[in-house]
Amino acid sequence: MVDDPGIVRSMCPKDVKSIVAIEPDEFTLIYPERVYVNHARVFPKLSLVVETKNTISAFIIGSTSVSDDAFYGHISSIYVLEEYRKRGYGSRLINKFEEGCKKAGCRYINLYVNIRNIAAVDFYKNRKYTVYRTIPKYYNDAEDAYEMRRDL
């Protein structure tokens, strides 16, 4: 099993260099440093990392917003380094994110995922997220996305 389960903690500005150095898979967008620094400062309970053996092995960046008079949480990005996948890190990050959203009074959580990213879609469906709508040409005006939501 896992020899080091890792520690889930709030992202801090010193983590950003490690995150932006990640070689992402085809479905993951690595944002400019300022995006992570801003999320770490403004949404410290919703922007989290898993630290394993002094390495950032997984992260989630999220925020809260208001739309149509509903206060909600939004997942901008979640990523687990390939060598740490299938160890529950993604679930631990989502659990902690959902807890933070509940405490903040969010009504639901949303996220966008490439419709070709079957593994991610299944991951979210297993966590009770449902497809709210399909957004044509969301990614670079070429690929469609699902907006997925989970009520809290």
Domain containing 92 — which CATH number? 3.40.630.30
- Domain assignment present for residue 127? The answer is no
Terminal alpha carbon distance of the chain: 32
Question: How far, in Å, CA of 130 to CA of 65, rounded?
Answer: 19
Residue 2 has pLDDT above 60, yes or no: no
| Locus of tokens 């966008």 | 112
- Domain assignment present for residue 149? The answer is no
User: pLDDT of 106-115, one tens digit each?
Assistant: 999 999 999 9
Beta strands in the chain (DSSP E): 7-10, 48-52, 55-67, 70-80, 108-114, 130-139, 143-151
pLDDT in the model for residue 3:
63
- Domain assignment present for residue 100? The answer is yes
- Domain assignment present for residue 36? The answer is yes
The angle formed by the CA atoms of residues 26, 29 and 33, to the nearest 5 degrees, is 145
Q: What is the pTM of this model?
A: 0.92
- Domain assignment present for residue 136? The answer is no
Residue 1 has pLDDT above 50, yes or no: no
Cβ atoms of 58 and 95 within 8 Å: the answer is: no
Domain coverage including residue 43: 7-109
- Domain assignment present for residue 1? The answer is no
